[in-house]
Amino acid sequence: MKKITPVMLVAALLVGASPLASSAATVPCETMLKDMRAAKASAKLGDADRAKVQDLEDKAVERCNADDDVRADQFLTQAITIIGK
């Protein structure tokens, strides 16, 4: 019987998760961007966090304009996590 190594397990998870990742963007990036901006407007962030959120927002807008909603949503999710919403 063959042993499952950690490398094989990670490879299986990555292969199995790839179809899920491409279908995970059920929220249009424009909607998520609007929600993130509303949260950012009411948040009390330090200078470092505000700069990080702005950088993530800029990247998300670039990806959203390129119709890459999956990647845009990933950036926006990171920003929302920093905001603490």
CB 63 within 8 A of CB 71: yes
pTM higher than 0.85 for the full model?
no
Q: How far apart are CA 5 and CA 7, in angstroms?
A: 5
Residue range 52-85, pLDDT digits in tens: 999 999 999 999 999 999 999 999 999 999 999 5
Closest CA to 24 of 75, 70, 66: 70
- Say what the pLDDT of residue 76 is: 96
- Say what the pLDDT of residue 27 is: 86
Residue range 15-64, pLDDT digits in tens: 454 444 444 546 899 999 999 999 999 999 999 999 999 999 999 999 99
Segment (H or E) for 83: helix 69-83
